[in-house]
Structure 1
């Protein structure tokens, strides 16, 4: 895979020319503020970040050879996680994915099951798209709550 693809993957993970930097999108909230939803039944910033981190960790582990079974709904179950803990996990996970994007062969095949596989490059693009989508929801929720001053 050519180097422009590697650069594109790294740019996507870093949100270059896409949207606000992910680290900016999640900074400046207390745990209490992060738990608030914009309306009854609406997801909170904390739920969005938990979901992002859940799948970020899943992809990172998958790329390194461990595929976890996922129980339906467990990717939204925040449990006792704190906002600061999730922010730290997100940042560590992002650094891990960036390290893979920088150092690994983007064409390397990753076996998921006996009959399903992917490659490093497409897997990283997929998680960056997923993260971007939900970061947009997180920022929109912060705006609705009056907890966004970055514009």
Structure 2
């Protein structure tokens, strides 16, 4: 197999993972049909509301994308900077803006991975061995984890149809 073929195959696999292919739920399915009144509700025994999960997904995805793009990305403090300060969105527009930003950053990460000029395996000079492929897989894994939490939360809130 030629190196170009290997690169194309790796790129396709990482893109499939980012697109929630194979075993992962996609973002749109996870948030579709969630009633606005439930966005700030925490189910008993679970630590986060749908709003907190959405914002955490958005913030983390942006952090990973910014890290991939530049050594000058703003460093966030764990956990304070990675979670919203309240359980409920301040208004319906905040939810919509967060979801739109998530979509835009997801597309930007896809674009970075899809670009044949991106060396997926070259360590980022400002990192400690991380590569674009590693960060993209980390992002896909992180998103899958929290989207699964969102589905479980929606089930407990009576807002998920398994059909």
Query: Do the structures match in fold with TM over 0.5?
Result: yes
Name which one, 1 or 2, has greater alpha-carbon Rg: 2
- 1:42 alignment counterpart: 47
- 2:133 alignment counterpart: 121
Alignment length (residue pairs): 149
TM-score under structure 1 length normalisation: 0.88
TM-fit CA distance, 1:110? 1.4
TM-score under structure 2 length normalisation: 0.82
Contact 1:49/1:86 (<8 A) preserved: yes
Question: Any stretches of 5+ residues in structure 1 without a counterpart?
Answer: none
**3-state DSSP class of the match of 2:124?**
strand
Q: What stretches of structure 1 move > 3 A for 4+ residues in a row?
A: 78-81
- 1:68 alignment counterpart: 74
**3-state DSSP class of the match of 1:118?**
coil
Residues 48 and 134 of structure 1: CA distance in aligned 2, closer, same or farther (over 3 Å): same
95, 110, 124: which one pairs with 2:107?
Answer: 95
Question: Any stretches of 5+ residues in structure 2 without a counterpart?
Answer: 1-5
Partners of 1:78 and 1:22 lie apart in 2 by 22
Residues 32 and 70 of structure 1: CA distance in aligned 2, closer, same or farther (over 3 Å): same
CA-to-partner distance for each residue in 1:64-121, whole Å, 9 max, x for gaps? Answer: 10332212322112554721111111111111111111112212331335xx231111
| 1:106 aligned onto 2:108 | no
- 1:10 alignment counterpart: 15
